Amino acid sequence: MGERLAGVGNHDFCPWANGYVYWLKQPIGWFVVGAFASLLIALFLSPHAWITFGSLVIVMMLGVVWPWAAVRGMRGEIAFDRRRCHEGELVHVRLTIRNAWPVPLWGLAVEKGFFTVGHDTDEQPVTALASVPGWSKSEFVFEFRPSRRGVYPHTIPELVTGFPFGLWRAQRPVT
């Protein structure tokens, strides 16, 4: 019974509509829907809905502009502790981040380049950083254990942030 219910709950009944509603899978999509609904309510029913509309627009702007500005003020470099290793052997990776902003950067992650190409795990973070102080050059060391032979990173890694709300993710390549 539970398996059947799960099958019904996960079935795509309207595959033709996926192109129209795919943007709702992103958090900012629901903010756009909410802002549009509150705009309609403010125009036709109650002027008090302007407060809701304005609040949602401010949150959306802040959620998009902050990550965009954060990646514009940072630079990242990556280096390995040695040139060669064997499969499954531990390698230390040194990540150097330069923050040109006077405020700290929060919620950074390194993605892409360290997992097998073509797998879904390429979008999962290799490592995550809590914060990078303002006007600083910070070094972080994390461990990486390659699962296969080859040259790492496979693709250019990216520094990614979605701080403060996770509405929009901005990225910058790591050199």
79 and 47 together in one domain: no
Residues 95 and 148 in one domain: yes
pLDDT at 74 over 80: yes
Percent of the chain at pLDDT above 90? 62
Nearest residue to 74 via CA among 54, 59, 48, 95? 95
Q: What is the pLDDT of residue 77?
A: 96
**Domain final position from 69, 89, 114:** 69
Residues 96 and 146 both lie in one domain: yes
d(CA 38, CA 32): 10
- Domain with 105 in it: what CATH number? 2.60.40.10
State residue 53's pLDDT score: 98
Q: What is the overall mean pLDDT for the chain? A: 90
Same domain assignment for residues 20 and 105: no
Structurally, the chain folds into a number of domains equal to: 2
Q: Which of 69, 90, 106 is the last residue of a domain?
A: 69
Q: Which amino acid, residue 76? A: G
Structure confidence at residue 98 (pLDDT): 97
DSSP state of 118: T
What pLDDT score does 66 carry?
95
- State yes or no: pLDDT of 76 exceeds 90: yes
* Predicted pLDDT at 123: 65
pLDDT of residue 71: 95
User: Are 42 and 123 members of one domain?
Assistant: no
- The lowest-confidence range among 37-46, 82-91, 102-111 is 82-91
Domain boundary among 17, 48, 69: 69
Give the domain range for residue 145. 74-173
Q: Clarify whether residues 91 and 168 are in a common domain.
A: yes
Do residues 130 and 37 make contact, with C-beta atoms less than 8 angstroms apart?
no
Task: Give residue 119's pLDDT.
Answer: 55
- pLDDT (tens digit per residue) in 9-59: 888 888 888 888 888 888 898 999 999 999 999 999 999 999 999 999 999
Same domain membership, residue 19 and residue 104: no
pLDDT grade for 70, boundaries at 50, 70 and 90: very high
Q: Is the pLDDT of residue 79 over 70?
A: yes
Of 152, 82, 171, 160, the residue nearest 113 (C-alpha): 152
pLDDT confidence of residue 118: 57
